[in-house]
Amino acid sequence: MPALERHHLAVVSGPGLGWVVPLGAEQATVGRAEHVDLSVPDPLLSREHLGARDRGGRVRVRDLGSANGTVLRAARRSSHGSAESAGSTGSTRLARKRRLGHRWQSAPVGSLVISGSTVLQVRAHPALRDLPEPEQPVSDGLLGRLLLPVLISLTMIPLLLSGGGGGWRILLMLAMPLAIVGAVLWPVLRERARRRLRRPGPDPVPPPRVTFADPAEALAWPGAAPGPDEQGWELGNADERAPRPTRPGRVLSPRHLRLAEALRHCQPPAAGEGIALVGEPAAVRGLGRWVVARTAATRACAVLAPEDWGWAAPLAERTPDGDPSLRVHDLTSTEPSPTYDPDAAHLVLAARVADVPPWCTTVIAVRPVHDRLVSEQWAEEFVTALAAHRPDAGRLPAQIHLGALLGPAEHTQLLDIWSQNLPGLPGIVGAGQQGPVELDLAQDGPHALVAGTTGSGKSELLVAWILAIAHARSPQDVSFVLIDYKGGATFGPLWTLRHVVGLVTDLDAAATARALASLRAELHHRERLLAAVGANDLTGYERLRPDGSEALGRLVVVVDEFRAMADAHPDQLDALVRLAAQGRSLGIHLVLATQRPGGAITADMRANLTTRLCLRVLEESDAQDAIGESTPARLPRIPGRAVLRTEGRQVLQAAWCGPAQTGWLTERISQLNAAADALEQRQPWRRARRSPWAPPLPERCTPAELAGHAGSAPAGARFPMPIARTDVPEEQRLGTWYWPGGTLLVSGPAGTGRTTVLQTVVEASLRVGTATHVIAEGAGSWDSASAPAAGTWCDPEDVRRVRRMLVGLGRGEGPALLAIDDIDTVLAALEETGAPGEGAELLGNLLRRSRRIGLDLLLTAPAPAHRWAGVVDRHLVLCPRDQADAVMAGVPRELVGTGWPPGRGVLVERGGAVTMQIAVTEPDAGAWGHPPSPPWRIRPLPDMVALPSGPDQGEHDAADHSLILGRGGDDAGLLRLHPRPGQTWLVAGPPGSGRTTTVLTLITQLRALGWQIAGEPRTVSQPMATTTATDGVGAAVVIDDADRLTSGRLPDGADDPQTLLIAATRPDGALTAAHPLGARLREADVTIALAGVPLGHLPPALLRPHQEPESPPGRAVLLHRGRATPLQVAMVAAAGPGESEDGVGVARAGGGSQ
């Protein structure tokens, strides 16, 4: 309400109780709409119901055309000469009801305006109530009152003179002078009556005024000072026993009035006592708001209201001297049971008497409708107005800059303080009502808990506290390890501070486990140092340690969002418990910050967290967990406002370092670092500062760099070249790893360095001269493929060689290494051309027998590789990104990191797990070793083999009567066979597989060896062969498309058992018993199976290991004497249609030649 408005309208009953609207010269509108001057939530009111104004000190009201109308009961003067407000004890007489219209009607002070279910009263401002009402002089309006009768008289004179005489004319002439005299005398007589009423009576003393008599008066003048007798609670007519008028304006009898006044007030509870208000929830809460608001205005105690009473939060930070706090318990809502505090007074709101706790000394039954039922909006408005009109002189500032508390960072001053090596860890954390607040973590701690919800200023407090400690102690006297579970947002600016030796964020979860493991190692290290000199604590160690020995400074571990860290690493809490228990004597201190300490801070840790700072929290339970009281749940929404509890308790405003854009924090860190450099130059011994953990793993390293750190390889190492750099936080160092052999699985997503690991291990094997076989994409083009110890190097798509290699290595041909890149792709290719599960069976056999046959296996696979993790000796998990998959692979949860570079992983073995960075190596031909014997190599078959042009050229020798079939076998050499009379040679293959080409190759060489060729009718002439002494070796019959042969057209000599029969057929040919040559072809002496398709009369397992899914023409499997050999058939030079190079015709079963 604006100051010094003389009159106002106050809601004294109905909805909106306690609201007021000041009255001025302009009309003030009352209604239900939101845009009016006084909005009342009364459904019986119109949107704009009535208007009121104050002109010349007189209040006038009118109806604005409302639907339900407006009634005025004008106030009459009391026995003391003035109309009093409803909150006064004086009697006010009201006139009869009068319905208002559109015209303005006078409403003296004390008048009631009834609109719908809302009753408003015209009141004077409490501060101006003793001023006299403005008086109207007698002469006011006299001219107007005389002018009307005079004009009437002048108008009637012509009428009287124009007519005849009559009695009415005489009466009218007499009445006009009397009217004129009455108009003049009436104001004079009325003024004399007013003066007589203002004359003091026998008891001129006015009744005593009660400040904040009702809600409307309290809101109208919140700045009023309470009187000396106003420490009681004013309840109005809320007590069910209190009598009240039957309708507005009625006056109680003297007996009822005395009873109402007696029940209007009650004595407030003392410390440890309580008063319970029982009734309907809305009525009880409304009265409770009034009691709290009036208590805030009349007393200086702190009010601890429920958490859903947000409007009362500013009342919780009061710190009165000797006045107990008032704790409010709202049992009508969600509060389960009130918490008893013997040092506080209690106000309990309950719906039933059964809910009242036994420690309440007074129970008051509240009637459902009373004149103190204020709304939550009214209470919030009142508290806001109270703070504006009566500001607290000792109020804490809303912000306090750390620079204002520390002062400038004078270079010489810092050097003087740091050089003294003073004990303790003092640091300014903020400002209280008595000035700066300093905490000494060594004396008040040794550990601290900082709690506060989001936006409460918790992170700013931590940064300011760290910087304040750095001001007081040098980097050698105190070091900070910062664990930031906000992604580095809190402590990122402090990373350049010389006092900070480590920063860990939740972006790399494994870094947290590494830090805690290193801290455990640091704890053991300090224990050993103290035990060596016989000291009990850090102070005793500094006194007893010999000159030149290691100096120990204090180490402060600060964790922001400790609950998030505890949830991510529950197994590490025991380490923190031990740190908390032994930290004081060893100089290690913990500062744990969290939003909700409940559940995260264990009982053992809580016993050592003796310093506690609690900023604003959302729930009372969080405040109770933090400092043992609920005050922080009711702190105002001011960032940095906190409650500090050490041996005592105080409310303070935490310091902060200002906005980042000002650059103050960066500049102050630079000043502290410059002072640290100057101190080290003055005292060189300070440069040898020990870090609590080893440096981080490099993002890239080479075997040469690793060998420089490790020296010689450990005894018994299978591969003496170092493979990786390991992290050993338990010993605060980095190590080097050598692969001892066996079976190793490397898994990880794409781009994490799986192939790099394989190449590094392969290079280590080649350098010791171990036979090394590789299955990897493009392996044949690697530089290492030419190493002396390089065995078979092939692509996964070369299924024939892969299958042959897995089968051959299973027989155990000596010590060797088999490296398979992307084992799942290799197995998929094997099973595509073989039987289901064949590839897994082959590899499983190698894994089971590897140790016995001296075979080392290195497998790589995409993550997750659960299929293989259980059957290998060691599993290297590269860059684990999914925590669940990594844990299933055996990686400890605390070692699962994020944002790792390629080659970073966790090696899981039976002895534990270790984080490592794989070395990147280049092939070094000068370092390759030579194996005792050449390694086994399965060479690839060429796509085409040309037949030598003559019997005396190349590797062909006509004297041995053999045929060159092509190149085949493991070494891809020439394959020869001796044709013999009576043999059956079967060439089977689908169209386009080179079946006819194979037949031409055989015919060409047989003719050259002197064999007589016979067949179906020929379409070309066949010259006679030139024979020598070896002529007459035998006769041969060649049949193409033998599967279409019928018995009636059998070539001559085809059924002769001494004839060499060469038949070409499709793989699905009908070589059945009904076929003329079926029995002979099914039992062929030599079978050449072309392409990677099965033959109907042969078992698939016989051919499959040597077939390829996509083969060039002429690729075949040679079956001879029960042995299968892969073969690329030789071909003759191109010839004309129907003839070979030497003109030999090829008979077809259907006639014609090719």
How many Cβ atoms from other residues are within 10 Å of residue 570's Cβ?
A: 12
Compute the distance between CA of residue 863 and CA of residue 1139 in angstroms, rounded to an integer. 58
DSSP letter assigned to residue 595: S
CB 386, CB 313: distance < 8 Å: no
Residue owning tokens 């929404």: 637
The Cα–Cα gap between 641 and 336 comes to: 28
What is the distance between the alpha carbons of residues 1035 and 165, in angstroms, rounded to a whole number?
Answer: 181
Other CB atoms within 10 Å distance of the CB of residue 943: 11
Does 457 carry a binding-site annotation?
A: yes
SS3 string, 11-34, reads EEECCCCCCEEEECCCCEEEECCC
How many whole angstroms separate alpha carbon 487 and alpha carbon 501? 18
Q: Which of helix, strand or coil describes residue 105?
A: strand
Question: Across 305-354, where does the E strand assignment appear?
Answer: 325-330, 344-350
Q: Which helix (H) or strand (E) segment is 973 a member of?
A: strand 973-977
Task: Transcribe 70-103 into DSSP letters.
Answer: EEEEPEEP-TTSSPPPTTSSS--EE---EE--SS
CA distance 335 to 281: 13
Nearest to 30 by CA among 121, 105, 108, 133: 121
Question: 880 CB contacts (<8 Å, ≥6 apart)?
Answer: 748, 863, 886, 889, 891, 896, 897, 905, 906
The span from the CA of 662 to the CA of 1, in Å, is 40
Residue 39, classed as helix, strand or coil, is strand
Binding residue per annotation — 949? Answer: no
Query: What's the rounded Cα separation, in Å, for the pair 762 and 856?
Result: 11
Is the alpha carbon torsion for 967, 968, 973, 979 positive or negative? negative
Q: Is 456 labelled as part of a ligand binding site?
A: yes
Phi-psi region of 1006 (alpha: psi -120 to 50; beta: other; left: phi over 0): alpha
Structure tokens at 214: 């009702």
Could you tell me if 270 and 341 are in contact, meaning their C-beta atoms sit under 8 angstroms apart? no
Cα separation values, 68 from 20, 37, 44, 177, Å: 22, 20, 7, 45
454 annotated among ligand-binding-site residues: yes
| 1114 marked as binding residue | no
- Of 564, 559, 557, 629, which is closest to residue 588 (Cα–Cα)? 557
Q: Is 458 part of any known ligand binding site?
A: yes
Dist. CA 589–CA 609, nearest whole Å? 10
Amino acid at position 477, single letter: D
CA distances from 466 to 418, 478, 647, 665 (A): 16, 10, 22, 12
Q: Where on the phi/psi map is residue 239: left (φ > 0), alpha (ψ -120 to 50), or beta? A: beta
Q: 690 phi and psi, to 5 degrees?
A: -85, 135
Residue 148 to residue 184: CA distance in whole angstroms: 12
The length of the chain in residues reads: 1154
- The C-alpha atoms of residue 668 and residue 436 are separated, in whole angstroms, by 20
Annotated binding site: 452-459
Annotated binding site for ATP: 452-459
